[in-house]
C-alpha cells in the first residue's frame, strides 16, 4: 500500500460514518460475518521496543481472546484470570497473560482497554510476570484508516489524542503503541496469534512478519505485509477456526516450530473456549464483549496443561 493511498484512506475514513450495522470485508481482505491514570502512548521521540517472537516457558499462563472495546468485560476476564485486583492493578505475581488481539472496535471503551493493558504490562513486569498483547486484524485495520467498526463513543475518546485518524496512522501515538505488540508470539511450547500460522508464514519467517508489521506502524515501512493482512495472513486466516480445521497443516507448523499447540482468537466460538485437532489448536474468541453477548472465559495453561476458565456474566 503506497503512502498516498494510506493518506487517502485515512482522510476518507475520518469523513465517513464510523458505525455500520453489519460487518463487511476489510479493504485488503475479507472478514467472515460473525463477528490510576493510564500509561500514555509512546511519544514520537522514543523508539518502541522490538518484540521477540520466542519467549521462555511460563509455569502459569492465561490466554484471553478478543475484547472489542468493552472495559467492563475486560476487567472481569482479567480478574477471572487472577491478573488484577478490585482496583484494576496487577495481582498476578509471575503470571503471564497473553491477549490475542482485537482490543479495538465495536465497543465505546477501546482506548480505555488499550491504556489498561499498557499499564498492566509495566506492573506485571515489576512483579516478575508479563502481559503479552498481540495485534489482531482490527488493530491493523485502524492503522490503515479502516474505521467502519468504530463506535461513536470510541471516536470521541480519541479527541484528546488529536483524533482517531491521527492516533492510529503510521507513526501516530497509538500506532507506536501497537508497534510494541507483535502479531505472533511463542511462549514455550505454545504459539499465539490472532488468526493462525500457516507453513507459508513459517517459511517466510515469523520474526520477519513481526518486524515488518512493526516497521509499518512506525511509519518506516511503506506497505503492510500481506503475510499479516492478506485473507490467509496471520491476523485474518480462519484455517483452524472452522468446524473442519486444517489439522494436517497445523501438524506441520507445530513440528517446524517445535511446539505442542497453537492458540487463536478472531472467530467467535459460540460454544466457548474449545480445542480441535486432538488438542493441538485452542480457539479462545468467545465473543466476550457485550457486542456479541458471550461468556467471560479464558484459557489457562498451568505447567503445560491447558484448561478453560469460566465465569458467569
Separation between Cα atoms, residue 63 and residue 265, nearest integer Å: 10
Rounded CA separation 14/6 (Å): 12
Displacement of CA 258 from its chain's centroid (Å): 23
Q: Residue 107's Cα: distance from chain center in Å?
A: 15
- What CA–CA distance (Å, rounded) separates 200 from 202? 6
Neighbours of 90 (CB within 10 A): 22
Distance CA 191, CA 89 (A): 27
Q: How far apart are CA 278 and CA 147, in angstroms?
A: 38
CB 194 within 8 A of CB 31: no
Please give the C-alpha separations between residue 156 and each of 18, 50, 153, 292, in angstroms, as whole numbers.
Answer: 11, 30, 5, 22
For 184, the 3-state DSSP assignment is: strand
On whether the CB atoms of residues 255 and 262 are closer than 8 A, the answer is no
Is 201 designated active site?
no
In Å, what is the CA distance from 209 to each residue of 17, 27, 180, 198, 313?
32, 20, 13, 12, 37
User: Which residue is catalytic, options 138, 194, 266, 291?
Assistant: 138
Burial of residue 285, with CB atoms counted within 10 A of its CB: 0-12 exposed, 13-18 middle, 19 or more buried: buried
φ, ψ dihedrals at 3, nearest 5°: -60, -40
Please state at what angle helix 71-80 crosses helix 110-126, rounded to 10 degrees: 30
What residues act catalytically? Answer: 138
Amino acid at each position: 500500500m503506497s503512502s498516498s493511498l494510506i493518506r487517502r484512506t485515512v482522510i476518507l475514513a475520518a469523513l465517513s460514518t464510523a458505525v455500520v450495522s453489519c460487518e463487511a470485508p476489510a479493504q485488503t481482505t475479507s472478514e467472515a460475518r460473525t463477528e490510576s491514570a493510564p500509561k500514555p502512548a509512546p511519544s514520537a521521540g522514543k523508539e518502541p521496543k522490538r518484540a521477540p517472537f520466542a519467549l521462555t516457558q511460563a509455569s502459569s499462563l492465561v490466554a484471553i481472546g478478543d475484547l472489542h472495546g468493552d472495559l467492563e468485560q475486560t476487567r472481569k476476564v482479567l480478574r477471572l484470570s487472577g491478573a488484577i485486583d478490585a482496583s484494576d492493578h496487577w495481582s498476578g505475581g509471575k503470571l503471564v497473560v497473553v491477549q490475542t488481539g482485537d482490543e479495538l472496535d465495536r465497543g465505546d471503551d477501546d482506548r480505555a482497554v488499550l491504556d489498561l493493558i499498557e499499564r498492566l504490562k509495566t506492573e506485571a513486569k515489576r512483579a516478575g510476570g508479563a502481559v503479552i498483547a498481540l495485534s489482531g486484524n482490527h488493530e491493523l485495520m485502524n492503522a490503515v484508516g479502516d474505521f467502519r467498526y468504530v463506535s461513536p463513543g470510541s471516536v470521541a475518546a480519541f479527541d484528546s489524542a488529536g483524533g482517531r485518524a491521527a492516533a492510529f496512522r503510521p507513526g501516530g501515538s497509538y500506532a507506536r503503541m501497537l508497534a510494541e505488540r507483535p502479531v505472533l508470539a511463542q511462549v514455550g511450547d505454545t504459539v499465539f496469534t490472532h488468526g493462525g500460522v500457516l507453513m507459508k508464514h513459517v517459511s517466510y519467517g515469523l520474526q520477519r512478519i513481526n518486524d515488518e508489521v512493526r516497521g509499518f506502524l512506525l511509519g518506516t515501512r511503506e506497505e503492510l505485509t500481506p503475510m499479516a493482512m492478506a485473507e490467509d495472513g496471520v491476523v485474518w486466516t480462519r484455517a483452524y477456526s472452522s468446524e473442519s480445521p486444517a489439522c494436517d497443516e497445523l501438524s506441520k507448523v507445530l513440528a517446524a516450530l517445535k511446539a505442542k499447540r497453537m492458540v487463536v482468537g478472531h472467530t467467535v466460538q459460540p460454544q466457548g473456549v474449545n480445542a480441535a485437532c486432538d488438542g493441538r489448536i485452542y480457539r479462545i474468541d468467545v465473543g466476550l464483549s457485550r457486542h456479541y453477548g458471550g461468556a467471560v472465559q479464558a484459557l489457562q495453561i498451568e505447567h503445560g496443561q491447558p484448561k478453560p476458565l469460566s465465569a458467569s456474566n
